[in-house]
Amino acid sequence: MSLEQRNIDVEPAVTDLRNRTLSRLPGDFSRLVYLASSRDCNSGQYYHDGLEFHFSHNAASKAMAMCHREIFDRLVYVSLEELIEELRNYMSSTDEQPGEFLKSWKHLGSYRVTIPSECDELEAEVFLSNVKMALAILQTRQKPVSQDEQSA
């Protein structure tokens, strides 16, 4: 099967993934985290029951890999301020308190797993550096907790 034929088979799965799943997530960073979390860290394969119900596992996995790469590529080249806003949107979509989220992400480096498997090393380094800076800026912008709030 030619590369062109395989891409034609994957396109409907990509469209479905974009329209039914990714469009419901609040921003590209949320989408990036979602796609990375759908990837098996041992095999590199992506899993999505809904897509696999309508398409083959192979088409679903390739569609997810394509979308993962596409979103990563967009985030690598956004301005630092746009990346900060993407992270802020993602952070507010979680149940974590912003201070705890930032502390955990800085300490654990959770953002490292969001890099697609097929990624240029330089792009990965730029992305990691930008995310570290964005997290540091968000942390400095956090409202300090007053003594009254600490004792409550």
Per-residue confidence at 8, pLDDT binned at 50, 70, 90?
A: low
pLDDT at 4: 43
Per-residue confidence at 3, pLDDT binned at 50, 70, 90?
A: very low
Mean of pLDDT values over 129-148: 83
Beta bridge partners of 39: 46
pLDDT at 118: 87
Per-residue confidence at 1, pLDDT binned at 50, 70, 90?
A: very low
Percent of the chain with pLDDT over 70: 88
CA angle 26, 31, 32 (to 5 degrees): 135
pLDDT at 2: 43
Could you count the other beta carbons within 10 Å of the beta carbon of residue 71? 24
Segment holding 63, helix H or strand E:
helix 57-76
Reading the block at residue 105, the tokens are: 């992400």
* Number of residues in the chain: 152
Going from N- to C-terminal start, the domains of the chain cover 3-141
Percent of the chain with pLDDT over 90: 80
